């Protein structure tokens, strides 16, 4: 197996005020020491609401814990009321940013073309994008899973800078926030498809170094068997990331 770190990422969605974020991280940080993050075999990232980014940066700087935004606009800055500027994210040293989470795709009508531009602009300002892909229940039942995630991957990476890193997250839409988790075999199968597509798009080195996280109802009681799948390089966690205790359990469950 290629030498990839195991990445455990929290997606807080539209939860936690700045005060709550700081309280959480102050409880999390001392307990995270035992995870050995400084060795680089495991990474932890918090994707927080935009309004919390500044205090999260202040709280986490100097630690080995990563953080970032859940979304940004595809221009560096400008007259785009209500959007988050990638350039400002870079100025406050955000290491990563989610792109194309299924809630952005379905509730906010984000399309592949837009997401490709977001990947590009984030790489330009030095932020590592985490592109999310995943099929709906209807698409899975019609046997379209492979076609859908291959298309989302290809289109989303169309403008990428091949010299810069990125991460992927496979999140079947039917498993997000539903308590209905993909079986470890289903998760692995999708990751195999994505890895092969990455190989076709960018060659072995790209496919081997790029982590693919699984997301969708990951909880402490199902994490170990999902993590044990050879092509699963981490978790992207919504609900179970909101409490320190359960998120720490997921950080510990990650292999490597
Ligand atoms: P969930 O969310 O863990 O609550 O299913 C995952 C996500 O949306 O990233």
Mean pLDDT of 236-254: 96
Atom of ligand 1 nearest to the CA of 237: 3
Q: Are 3 and 229 in contact (CB under 8 A)?
A: no
Mean pLDDT over all residues of the chain?
96
What's the confidence (pLDDT) of residue 1? 52
Residue with tokens 């770190």: 5
What's the confidence (pLDDT) of residue 21? 98
Nearest CA to ligand 1 atom 6: 238
How far is the centre of ligand 1, averaged over its atoms, from the C-alpha of 78 (Å)?
Answer: 31
Burial class of residue 206 in the structure, from the number of CB atoms within 10 Å of its CB (0-12 exposed, 13-18 middle, 19+ buried): middle
pLDDT in tens, 44-54: 999 999 999 99
How does strand 6-11 pair with strand 212-215?
unpaired
How far is the centre of ligand 1, averaged over its atoms, from the C-alpha of 214 (Å)?
Answer: 10
CA dist 5 → 43, 185, 200, 212 (Å) = 7, 21, 22, 10
Alpha helices, DSSP H only, in the chain? Answer: 18-32, 53-60, 86-91, 102-107, 112-124, 137-141, 145-156, 184-209, 223-227, 244-253
Nearest CA to ligand 1 atom 1: 238
What's the confidence (pLDDT) of residue 2? 67
Identify the active-site residue in 103, 171, 191, 197: 171
Give the phi and the psi of residue 132 in degrees, each rounded to 5: -100, 135
Structure tokens at 91: 């100025």
**For this structure, is 101 an active site residue?**
yes
Per-position DSSP letters for 118-153, written without gaps between them? HHHHHHHTT-EEEEEE---HHHHHTT-HHHHHHHHH
Q: Which of 73, 22, 24 is nearest to 52 (CA)?
A: 22
Q: Are 227 and 21 in contact (CB under 8 A)?
A: no
Q: Give 99's DSSP letter.
A: E
* Confidence grade of residue 247 (pLDDT, cut at 50, 70, 90): very high
User: Residue 133, CB half-sphere, CA atoms under 13 Å: how many?
Assistant: 26
Mean pLDDT of 106-128: 98
What residues does ligand 1 touch, defined as CB less than 6 Å away?
A: 11, 171, 176-177, 215-218, 236-240
Mean pLDDT of 56-63: 96
> What is the maximum span of the chain, computed from C-alpha positions, in angstroms?
48
Atom of ligand 1 nearest to the CA of 179: 5
**For this structure, is 109 an active site residue?**
no
Nearest-angstrom CA–CA distance, 71 and 68: 9
Long-range CB contacts for residues 162-165, cutoff 8 Å, separation at least 24:
162/202, 162/206, 164/123, 164/128, 165/128, 165/209, 165/210
pLDDT in tens, 21-34: 999 999 999 999 99
pLDDT in tens, 150-204: 999 999 999 999 999 999 999 999 998 888 888 999 999 999 999 999 999 999 9
What's the confidence (pLDDT) of residue 225? 95
Atom of ligand 1 nearest to the CA of 103: 8
Identify the active-site residue in 101, 110, 135, 191: 101
Is the pLDDT reported for residue 256 higher than 80? no
Residue with tokens 């990125």: 166
How far is the centre of ligand 1, averaged over its atoms, from the C-alpha of 216 (Å)?
Answer: 5
Nearest-angstrom CA–CA distance, 23 and 55: 11
Nearest CA to ligand 1 atom 2: 238
């Amino acid at each position: 197996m290629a030498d990839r770190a195991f990445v455990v990422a929290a997606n807080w969605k539209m939860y936690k005020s700045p005060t709550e974020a700081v309280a959480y991280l102050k409880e999390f940080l001392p307990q995270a020491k035992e995870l050995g993050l400084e060795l680089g075999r495991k990474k932890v990232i918090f994707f927080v609401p935009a309004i919390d980014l500044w205090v999260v940066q202040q709280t986490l700087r100097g630690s080995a814990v990563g953080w970032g935004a859940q979304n940004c606009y595809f221009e560096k800055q400008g007259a785009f009321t209500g959007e988050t500027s990638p350039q400002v994210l870079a100025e406050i040293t955000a290491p990563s940013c989610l792109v194309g989470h299924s809630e952005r795709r379905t509730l906010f009508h984000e399309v592949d073309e837009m997401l490709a531009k977001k990947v590009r602009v984030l790489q330009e300002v030095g932020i590592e994008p985490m592109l999310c892909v995943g099929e709906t229940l209807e698409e899975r039942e019609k046997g379209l899973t492979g076609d859908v995630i291959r298309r989302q991957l290809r289109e989303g990476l169309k403008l990428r800078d091949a010299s810069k890193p990125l991460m992927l997250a496979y999140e079947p839409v039917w498993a997000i926030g539903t308590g209905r988790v993909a079986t470890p075999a289903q998760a692995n199968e999708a990751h195999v498809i994505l890895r092969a597509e990455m190989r076709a798009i960018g060659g072995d080195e790209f496919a081997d170094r790029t982590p693919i996280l699984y997301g969708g109802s990951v909880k402490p009681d199902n994490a170990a068997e999902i993590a044990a799948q050879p092509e699963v390089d981490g978790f992207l966690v919504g609900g179970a990331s909101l409490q320190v205790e359960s998120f720490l359990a997921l950080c510990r469950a990650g292999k490597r």
